[in-house]
Amino acid sequence: MRRGEVSVEDQARYLGRGDYARVTAADRPGVAQPVPLREVPAQPWARVALGALLLFAVLIAGWEYYWRAFGVTPGSRNSDGLWAIQRRRIDNGEGDATVAIGSSRMYFDLQLDIWEQLDGKRPIQLALEGTTPLPFLEDLAADPKFTGRLLVGVAPQLFFSGFAFRGAALTYARKESPAQRAGQWLSMHLIEPFFAFYDHDFALDTVIQRQAWPERAGLHERRPVRKLAEHGPDRNTHLWGKVETDPYREVARSVWRNHLAPSADVPPPEKMQKTLEEQLDRAAKAVITLRERGVKLLFVRPPSTGPYLEWENRVFPRAKTWDILLAKSGAQGIHFEDYPELQGFELPEWSHIKHADAEKFTAALHAIIARDFPQFLAVGAAGGAVPDGHVAH
């Protein structure tokens, strides 16, 4: 026994608790605490560990098999760390790039491969699902390293309400520790390429939580959004093929129906109006700052259809939102309702364009910009206002 150690017998005597005794610092007031004793319980630990490892391996294999049978394939995890990698590109010499911010529509509908083919340069995708782009617009406005082109996706219910499901991504990117950065790299190289189940939608608590639990009286429970997209390592993202057909399409639609249903959680009209005005003022201020720095900016309203569009038009009518946004900020915008080429795509769950059509949407969007907003694409031209060339439709 080493200096300072206390024997098991002494400990047991001290407490009089037989073999359950273990003296802690709580039992020894006002004295130097001796070296603790940590016994290993008698077990055939080699066999126990082997059994545990085998069970773990079998269960993991079964879980992976289950999700692959569900139609999932390994891909990049849609994490804050992945977003931070793209955000850092602006700080690391790509400040003149084309950057996309917005919500899930800009995230899923803009296909980076197509844009790169047409434009020669691959955009940086910084849009985040369920999240207003406003804080990110302000972040870029405050960053003198960003001097490029900015596509700002506008999903009315997010942009004008200020809701930010993934708002923490910005703080994460600013404060990301070396350990977190290393963890992101390890995840992208050791986990994500091999395990389909490694997706937020298949996390244990998410899976358990979405089972058919009884509704609580008096509470409108917002159902969590299911997996809708597949992501690439540079956040090139598209709508998941499974969403295109029933029964999963109906699952996705039922979630939207749940979200669009009347709820006591909706703020009163005067509060919503106040929030709307705040968002518009902040957006206008950020746009002016960007314009002064020469950044070229376009707002883009990607398509939505069906009950989703009806709800948006009712709660966030264009005349009170989009039109005022453009007027206040002095920026130009592309609203899908103004361009026949941005209509007619298939949106399986009313909010996002299916993969094949998203490629066509991206090409059409680029063509519209080239035709109607040539200064946005012009290399070296003075940026900001993109003042001329907007063709009314």
Across 121-134, b (16+ Cβ under 10 Å) vs e yields ebbbbbbbbbbbbb
Asked if residue 247 binds another protein (CB under 8 A), the reply is no
Asked if residue 54 binds another protein (CB under 8 A), the reply is yes
- Give me the numbers of helices (H) and strands (E) for the chain, helices first please: 16, 7
Secondary structure class of 136 (helix, strand, coil): helix
Which residue, 33 or 254, is less far from another protein as judged by CB?
A: 33
214/275 Cα distance (integer angstroms)? 34
* Candidate residues 147, 180, 275, 289; the one interacting with another protein per rule CB under 8 A: 180
Which segment (100-108, 201-209, 311-319, 364-372) binds another protein by CB under 8 A?
Answer: 201-209
* Candidate residues 22, 88, 259, 366; the one interacting with another protein per rule CB under 8 A: 22
Rule CB under 8 A: which of 57-86 touch another protein? 59-60, 63
Secondary structure class of 285 (helix, strand, coil): helix
* Candidate residues 91, 113, 221, 281; the one interacting with another protein per rule CB under 8 A: 221
80/240 Cα distance (integer angstroms)? 20
85: enclosing H helix or E strand: helix 80-91
Tokens of 97: 């790039």
Please give the size of the binding site for another protein, defined by CB under 8 A: 74
Asked if residue 17 binds another protein (CB under 8 A), the reply is yes
* Candidate residues 51, 344, 374, 389; the one interacting with another protein per rule CB under 8 A: 51
In angstroms, the Cα distances linking 205 to 90, 133, 202, 208, 211 are: 35, 28, 8, 5, 10
Q: How far is the CB of 250 from another protein (least distance, A)?
A: 22
* Candidate residues 9, 16, 44, 269; the one interacting with another protein per rule CB under 8 A: 44
Asked if residue 45 binds another protein (CB under 8 A), the reply is yes
The DSSP annotation for 300-324 comes to EE----HHHHHHHHHHS-GGGTHHH
Which residue, 34 or 294, is less far from another protein as judged by CB?
A: 34
Rule CB under 8 A: which of 261-290 touch another protein? 264
Q: How far is the CB of 230 from another protein (least distance, A)?
A: 17
